[in-house]
């Protein structure tokens, strides 16, 4: 449900968690990001930083500048001023990534897991397709690459995006690995629950994996200007489109990344309008798949 009034919960002496509801619903994330934007625009004294997540916003504050109760009043005022979520417009960049689906690298990680940890594990693309009533890995690729993805939150590892499919016809779900994998190749695309993630570096992981991008989303050597003042590519509210490519095209992009000539394909002129998004979603036949 979406709460009539958000819940304001303390986390020690410096944090407030604002919960907008208790379900997986993009609308709650739009509210969290809308509030984060309003706080930033007002340069509210005492707020150090904010971090949106699926249904909530964490606020880090300086209690010497603002008390918990005063912060709560300020937040309540800003939320009222935001109005209904339909009025929210969020700056939103769109990243196009060449994506090798059912690629040899994630296959190797899955096969290693099957050999060493769980021989019963079904090949991830086949498993996810079957669970979601799709005809097989080919349709999984069509469905998964058919939508833009919304960066709802970042975490687990710096710069790791948790993304939701914006097109309801492309929403699929997947359980997590149990036990988790000990390694996942850098740039792997995977799913857990209803969220899609990209692994910024090689790490252990629990998502079902079925694709890989050659493009860095983590740039500690600061080789690419698109990262601006950070070494993580994404901000909450960015969008991602996975463009299926062959292994050959993947490797060509990988070479360009290595020699520094790779051009990120980013669209930066759009704003995301919640009202327009909702009216578009209302026009769709959600039962249809690509």
Angle at Cα 145 formed by Cα 141 and Cα 97, nearest 5°? 120
Contact segment (CB under 8 A) with other proteins among 77-85, 104-112, 123-131, 154-162 equals 154-162
- CA dist 7 and 127 (Å) reads 38
Residue in 42, 45, 49, 204 binding other proteins, rule: CB under 8 A: 49
Cβ-based neighbours of 112, under 8 Å, separated by 6 or more: 183
**Phi and psi angles of residue 171, each rounded to the nearest 5 degrees, phi first:** -75, 120
Per-residue contact track with other proteins, 177 to 216, x per CB under 8 A? ----------------xxx-----x---------------
Torsion sign over Cα 110, 111, 116, 117: positive
Give min distance, CB of 89 to other proteins, in A.
Answer: 19
Residue selected from 64, 259, 282, 288 as contacting other proteins according to rule CB under 8 A: 64
Rounded to whole angstroms, how far apart are CA atoms 189 and 205?
11
DSSP state of 239: E
Q: Does 156 bind other proteins (CB under 8 A)?
A: yes
Task: With contacts defined by CB under 8 A, name the span among 19-27, 81-89, 117-125, 127-135 that binds other proteins.
Answer: 19-27
Site string for other proteins, 216-255 (x = CB under 8 A): ----x--------xxxx-xxx-------------------
Q: What is the DSSP string of 74-136?
A: HHHHHHHHH-SGGG-EEE--EEEEEEEET-HHHHHHHHHHHHHT-TTPPPHHHHHHHHTT-SS
Choose which of 9, 81, 115, 258 interacts with other proteins (CB under 8 A).
9
The vertex-31 CA angle with 173 and 196, nearest 5°, equals: 25
Contact at 8 Å (CB) between 203 and 186? no
Q: Using CB under 8 A, which of 42, 45, 48, 118 touches other proteins?
A: 48
Q: Are 226 and 81 in contact (CB under 8 A)?
A: no
By beta-carbon proximity to other proteins, the closer residue of 101 and 234 is 234
Among 104, 155, 179, 204, which residue sits at the site for other proteins (rule: CB under 8 A)?
155
**Where on the chain is the footprint of other proteins (CB under 8 A)?**
9-15, 17, 19, 22-24, 36, 48-58, 60, 63-64, 67-68, 153-160, 162, 193-195, 201, 220, 229-232, 234-236
């Amino acid at each position: 449900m979406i709460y009539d009034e958000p819940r304001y919960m303390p986390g020690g002496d410096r944090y407030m968690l604002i919960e907008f509801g208790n379900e997986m619903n993009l609308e709650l994330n739009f509210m969290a990001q809308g509030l984060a934007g309003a706080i930033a625009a007002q340069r509210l004294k005492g707020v150090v930083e904010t971090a949106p997540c699926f249904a909530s916003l964490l606020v880090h504050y300086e209690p010497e500048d603002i008390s918990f109760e005063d912060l709560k009043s300020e937040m309540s005022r800003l939320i009222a001023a935001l109005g209904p979520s339909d009025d929210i417009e969020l700056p939103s960049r769109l990243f196009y990534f060449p994506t090798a689906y059912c690629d040899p690298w994630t296959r190797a990680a899955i096969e290693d897991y099957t050999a060493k940890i769980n021989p019963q594990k079904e090949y991830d693309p086949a498993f996810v397709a079957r669970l979601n009533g799709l005809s097989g890995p080919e349709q999984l690729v069509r469905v998964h690459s058919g939508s833009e993805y919304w960066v709802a939150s970042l975490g687990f590892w710096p710069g790791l995006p948790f993304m939701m499919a914006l097109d309801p016809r492309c929403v699929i779900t997947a359980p997590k690995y149990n036990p988790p994998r000990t390694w996942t190749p850098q740039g792997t695309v995977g799913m857990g629950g209803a969220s899609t993630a990209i692994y910024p570096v090689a790490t252990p992981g629990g998502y079902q994996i079925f694709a890989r991008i050659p493009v860095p989303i983590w740039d500690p050597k600061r080789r690419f200007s698109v990262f601006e003042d950070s070494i993580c590519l994404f901000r909450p509210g960015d969008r991602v489109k996975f463009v299926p490519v062959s292994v050959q095209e993947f490797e060509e992009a990988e070479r360009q990344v290595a020699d520094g000539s790779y051009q990120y394909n980013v669209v930066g002129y759009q704003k995301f309008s919640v009202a327009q998004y909702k009216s578009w979603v209302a026009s769709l036949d959600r039962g249809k798949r690509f």
